[in-house]
Amino acid sequence: MQSKILREKFIKFFQSKGHKLLPASSLIPTDPSVLLTTAGMQQFKDWFSGEVKPKYGKVVTVQPCFRTSDIEEVGDNSHLTFFEMMGNFSFGYAHLVPSLGARQDKSFGSYFKKEAIDLTYEFLTKDLKINAQRITVTIFPGDKNKNLPLDSESFTSARQIFDDKQILMGSSEDNFWGPTGDEGPCGPTLEIFVDGIEVWNLVFNQYYCDKNRRLKPLALKGVDTGMGLERLAAVMQGEKSVFQTDIYSPILAKIDNLLIESKNVDLPRSALILADHIRGITFLSAEGILPANKQQGYVLRRLIRRAILHGFLLKLKKDFLKELAQVVIAQLGEFYPNLVKNKEQIISVLAGEEDRFLKTLQRGLAEFEKIKNKSQKDKIISGAAAFKLADTFGFPIELTEELAQKDNFKVAREDFAKAMEMQREVARKSQKVSSGSANPKLHTACHLLHQALREVLGPHAKQAGQDVTGEVLRFDFTHPQELTDEQLRKIEQIVNQKIKDKLTVTSKLTTVSQAKKEGAIALFEQKYADKVTLYDIGGYSKELCAGPHVKNTGELGHFKILSEKSAASGVRRIKARLH
């Protein structure tokens, strides 16, 4: 059964059971404590916690997810960085806890453990026609350290469907999930296996875990399930590896076609790593994320450079990343139209990054061999050497560690971290010496410029640095290519129009999470205090900022862009003046 049909069957089954189909959320989560979306439930975290009243009682989604925790395992039969998580969810179930005073909205049709297990069994055995004897489940056995009991309700419900030999006691670690981020809903899980392959995880959110890792019962319970499309496809297509399914076969065929030398029947592990990474790279780029040295941008850069390394080892033709991304877009663009919409941006980002890194990769690999030869005695790559590879040749530390591991070498990670911190400290001191008092007019103009850039170029245009201490403002922002004259004119016009509109500038104290919910822009790699200042310029621009600012945009005068040029890889710089 094709993966496309499996996805459609899952959606239609749960729609027939009264679930509302909702779109996938962005790979950039609203929760600032989480870097990327790793599970389908993240967009519903507030619904599960009770902080926000759910709009629906039953929901079904297919959520693109990205995880780096298993990146070193990619290339085996089942581990991936990017995958599609199909999930059904239930919110606001109160039947089990009347003592907590919770009220269940009966019109929601919410359900809990028994119903969730029954639905799972029905979909697998009736819709997909999987023989029930191929299925095993694991149950949460309890956790003495957390004073949590055996999940007896799941155990009882499972025994009504499965033979005792198909029901196994799991572990307290594997069969308890959550929270995502620093705190949130969590609970015991029932894991479902087909032929020994884990395909579905049913999480029963019945606790709330606070920042001190203390658990308390939730008044309203919830069901959060996740089934990886890739693993299900392997089961349904009778394959031992996810890479043998129709999800990856077009990508692997393209890799084979791009080989400079003779075609391989059995492509090596590097091809499988590349086939996984290009999907994640394509989706992250479609979100407007650009390769950078921080946050999501660092994850993307690390993934791209790891993909380029393996493409180099395979001896693929030039521009292979661009070619492979187009396969992903053609394959998934119908279900994820954002890929088609942002195709040019994706191709531009990948072409530029591949071109830049390939120029230094060969020299970097040669340097690594020299370092390795000098370190034969203790088989340790020093922190200074690893720092040189990062600073001079653009090798992420994880890439150096991967190369070292192949030859049983280790990397002095702590010494590397110290070298990086020394570099940051020098930069901080340099910035401190060069900075004076911020000019309120220029500072306010920067906020208008930032929003105008995002309006003209897209949400990927994010502040990467600024200087508002003199008479000319400098604003650095993420964007992969030079701006056209028309784009610069449009940006100027927008800023000057907002000045003419004489917008009122207001500020208030709030929290980072609340500010982001209100649509505020923040440099989320920064560490913020519990309370932050949100500056709102007439509803047009909302940013977390320490100030200072003018009271009204009418005070600014005329905004004029003086220059626009490259500041670094993937970063552009605008200089402008107020007259």
Q: Which residues pair with 202 in a beta bridge?
A: 190, 225
Q: How far is CA 374 from the centre of its chain?
A: 38
Instruction: Supply the pLDDT for residue 308.
Output: 93
Q: How far apart are CA 215 and CA 244, in angstroms?
A: 42
Give the separation between CA 576 and CA 436, rounded to whole angstroms. Answer: 18
Query: How many C-beta atoms surround the C-beta of residue 372 within 10 A?
Result: 16
Q: What is the 3-state secondary structure (H, E, C) of 311-338?
A: HHHHCECCCHHHHHHHHHHHHHCCCCHH
The pLDDT value recorded for residue 495 is: 96
Q: Cα Rg for the chain, rounded, in angstroms?
A: 26
Q: What pTM value is reported for the model? A: 0.77
User: What's the start-to-end Cα distance of the chain, in Å?
Assistant: 66
**CA-to-CA separations, 351 to 279, 312, 324, 392, in angstroms, rounded:** 15, 15, 11, 21
Tell me the per-residue pLDDT of 336-389, one tens digit each, with 9 for 90 and over. 999 999 999 899 889 888 888 888 888 899 999 999 999 998 999 999 999 999
Residue 154 amino acid letter: S
3-236 carries CATH number 3.30.930.10: yes
DSSP 449-512: HHHHHHHHH-TT--EEEEE-SSSEEEEEEE-SSPPPHHHHHHHHHHHHHHHHTTPBEEEEEE-H
Predicted local confidence at residue 33, as pLDDT: 73
Kindly report the CA angle at 423 between 422 and 429, in degrees rounded to 5? 90
In 3D space, the residue among 172, 162, 94, 106 whose CA is nearest the CA of residue 134 turns out to be: 162
* Nearest CA among 570, 565, 36, 523 for reference residue 292: 570
Helix (H) or strand (E) holding 535: strand 532-537
- Residue 361 region by backbone torsions, left for phi larger than 0, else alpha for psi between -120 and 50, else beta: alpha
Q: What are phi and psi of 507, to 5 degrees?
A: -140, 155
Distance (Å, whole) CA 205 – CA 222: 5
CA distance 58 to 291: 37
pLDDT of residue 220: 86
The pair of structure tokens assigned to 366 is 């040669």
Q: What pLDDT does 450 receive?
A: 95
Check: CB of residue 528 under 8 Å from CB of residue 413.
no
Q: What is the model's pLDDT at position 101?
A: 45
- List of the chain residues with pLDDT < 50: 96-103, 107, 265, 430-436, 524-527
Tell me what pLDDT residue 434 has.
43
Phi and psi at residue 502, in whole multiples of 5°? 50, 60
Tokens 């939730």, located at residue: 218
Residues 440 and 312: their CA atoms lie apart, in Å, by 50
Angle of helix 440-457 relative to helix 485-500, nearest 10 degrees?
130
Range 440-578 classified under CATH 3.10.20.600: no
Distance CA 306, CA 188 (A): 36
What's the pLDDT score for residue 266? 57
pLDDT in tens, 57-87: 999 999 999 998 878 788 888 789 999 999 9
**C-beta of residue 19 within 8 angstroms of C-beta of residue 60:** yes
Q: Can you tell me the distance from the alpha carbon of 320 to that of 271, in angstroms, rounded to the nearest whole number?
A: 12
10/16 Cα distance (integer angstroms): 10
Q: In what order do the strands lie in the sheet with 559-568?
A: 463-467, 472-478, 571-578, 559-568
Quote the CA–CA distance of 459 and 287 in Å, as a whole number: 8
Instruction: Tell me the CA distances in angstroms from 466 to 182, 442, 447, 474, one per residue in order.
Output: 31, 10, 11, 5
Answer whether 548's CB lies under 8 Å from 443's CB: yes
